Copies of this chain bind each other. A is one copy, B any other.
């Protein structure tokens, strides 16, 4: 199992409506066939510690079967449309792929 975890920091000037639109955009990724499971979240209210980064706005955790499935996810039309529509919304994106 491969975990593709993505953390987005959004532009501070985005409106509430734009943030909601972004959230819906991330949720469209759930429909991608090469993704076995997709979870979308925000920073959880766990105990604040220096090692815990809770400064991001949206978390996206995608589970794929393997590297080939993650590669297919990247070029899926739904993913490409998401990136094209929302790439101007974030200031930073941090990704970790593990398996």
Contact = CB atoms under 8 A, between A and B. Distances in A.
Interface string A76-99: 000000000000000001111111
A17 interface: no
A15 interface: no
Contact of A39 (B3, B43, B44, B96): B3
Interface residues of A, number: 33
Given A46-B97, A47-B74, A51-B93, 7 more contacts: A5-B61, A39-B98, A43-B97, A44-B99, A52-B95, A56-B96, A61-B61
Closest 9 CB pairs of A and B: A59-B98, A41-B98, A44-B97, A44-B99, A46-B97, A52-B95, A41-B99, A51-B95, A51-B93
